[in-house]
Amino acid sequence: MNRFFIIIILFTITIISCSSEEKKIVNPILAGFYPDPSICKVGGDYYIVNSTFAYFPGIPVFHSKDLVNWKLIGHVLDRPEQLNLDGFGVSRAIFAPAIRYSNGKFYVTCTLVDGGGNFIVSADKPEGPWSNLTWLPEINGIDPSLFFDDDGRTYITYNSDAPDNKPLYSGHRTVRMVEFDIVNMKVISEPIILINGGVDISTKPVWIEGPHIYKINGKYFLTAAEGGTAEDHSQVILRSDKVNGPYIPYDKNPILTQRHLDPNRKFPVTCAGHADFVQTNDGNWWSVFLACRPHNGNYYTGRETFLAPVKWIDGWPVINPEFEEIQFYYPLPIYPLSEKVDIPYSGNFTIRDEFDTDILHPSWIFLRTPHEKWHYSNSKKGFLSIKLKPETVAGKMNPGFIARRQQHNKGFASTSVLFNPLSENEKAGLIVFLNETCFYYICKSIVDGKEVVQLYRSLDKPQSDDEMELINQFEIPEEKINEKINLKIETDGDYYSFYYSFEKEDWKFIGKMDASFLRVQIPRDFTGCVFGMYATSLGKPVNNTAYYDWFEYNGNDDMYK
């Protein structure tokens, strides 16, 4: 057993053959809710960051030496004084970080939407600690990205309003640039417009965003997403002889999209865009970008991080040029592979956490910022204890909720909880959660003095104090009330099925619910589904604790079989 997790079954992680010639990467390289990737390289090390919205800690930092095996080494925003998420909606707050490196320092620029706006942080090491936020009030927009020119000057590009804040059509935006003093961390110029609308404003392109600039062979390349982050998403490229333009678009744009393909194709990948480029030591180029694996139409468990090769064609970088469809497998970008990481993030796998260490694995996340300690890994040996909190997942504060991402359309999450409720508002169990009004919850509680297992569905429009409706419940036999109860949520892509059991007993079915209720709908949802341990007192202060013995996650999607 490694320090945090036991990997029980490994159907496919990142290598699908024992022959070096047949080894391949598996897409997505970061499955589940890992959108808006940005990548940088330092020597032989690669780092990716992603958007986290209203989840804490904010902005994961992944490390790899081969672009295949990724390890979560920390988070950029992991202290309450850096990131107070009280009151933010689930799909608001932390949008589109960009990571860059220069002169011995790492930098991340990002946007706190509905909060303080754009900011920059820095660190000597990618695992942190990262600095507190330096706000950039002069930058009016989202998706800031640093560019370090070879003459020592630094710039920030970003998505901003239409010229004079007078859009010609809905979704009319610009890409702007300011010069930045990286030593004193301040903007030192007025913004200039690099792109107005998109590569061809006569076609009324929407949401030019996520811009990055690179200098390659004496030319400046500006890449950005276009078309919005749903099915019309794409990536475009422009080129200039000067950093401040003019930027001329590639006449075969977009360089990446899936919007023109048959939506009924087998195992589709959609919503591709928001790309960033990286060059390996052997001179080859690759791109990370977000995309989705829909199930039964345009429903997603989340927006994920994919990797694809880049080929230079007539002086332009083109992503995935050998195929129309984004592939689930590509040849290895770097060989030999590095050692396996602690837990997998791609392919099919099963992982189990026994909660037998003092520190939670960094892949566990919270809803908004925990300002006080309410969970412990050592108060009861071999258990993770969660104090019941009055805050709920339907509100906009920090509930007693610890989750991990759902990374597959098919699979299950299960846990075992020791809990004795004292009143009907006290509940502890397992939740599958998308947002404040889209979740299912199986839990242990008490009704009329009898302990019960209950299944709830959230209300689309909460009424007064009612945030969820009871779907089903079963009374727990008296001889079982002091035992651990095992809870499981299983999904086949179309439905979530809910089960409970006691030690050495078979699973008992309690209900089956429509999975489309919890599918990501862009632009309503920028996050994705998560499975969580959730203990609540539904708005009332209590003194009770739920003890979780273990948590298991299984993912087994058909495209990897």
Catalytic residue (one of 66, 78, 143, 209): 209
Active site residue 322: no
Please tell me the distance from the alpha carbon of residue 561 to that of residue 406, in angstroms, as a whole number.
19
Q: Is 528 helix (H, G, I), strand (E, B) or coil?
A: coil
Active site residue 209: yes
> Which token pair is 197?
């609308």
Calculate the alpha carbon distances from 272 to 43, 268, 302, 467, 526 in Å.
Answer: 28, 11, 13, 35, 14
Sheet containing 38-42, strands listed edge to edge, beginning at the edge strand earlier in sequence? 38-42, 45-49, 58-64, 71-77
Catalytic residue (one of 36, 304, 391, 436): 36
First-residue to last-residue Cα distance in the chain: 26
Cβ neighbors of 463 (< 8 A, separation 6 or more) are none
Q: Is 425 exposed, middle or buried (0-12, 13-18, 19+ CB in 10 A)?
A: middle
Closest among 473, 365, 314 to 54, alpha carbons compared: 365
Give 465-518 as a DSSP string: TEEEEEEEEEEPPGGGTTS-EEEEEEE-SSEEEEEEEETT---EEEEEEEGGGG
Residues 220/213, Cβ–Cβ less than 8 Å = yes
Q: What is the 3-state secondary structure (H, E, C) of 353-405?
A: ECCCCCCCCCCCEEECCCCCCCEECCCCCCCEEEECECCCCCCCCCCCEEEEE
> Which token pair is 458?
């959230």
Please tell me the distance from the alpha carbon of residue 52 to that of residue 58, in angstroms, as a whole number.
6
> Which token pair is 493?
């892509």
CA-based torsion, 19, 22, 28, 29: positive or negative: positive
Buried b or exposed e, range 202-217, using 16+ CB within 10 angstroms? eeebbbbbbbbbbeee
Q: What is the 3-state secondary structure (H, E, C) of 297-360?
A: CCCECCCEEEEEEEEEECCEEEECCCCCCCCCEEECCCCCCCCCCCCCCCCCEEEEECCCCCCC
Residues 233/254, Cβ–Cβ less than 8 Å = no
Please tell me the distance from the alpha carbon of residue 411 to that of residue 557, in angstroms, as a whole number.
8
Q: What is the 3-state secondary structure (H, E, C) of 54-90?
A: CEECEEEEEEECCCCCCEEEEEEECCCCCCCCCCCCC
Strands (E), 65-184: 71-77, 93-102, 105-113, 117-123, 134-135, 142-148, 154-160, 174-181
Residues with a known catalytic role: 36, 209
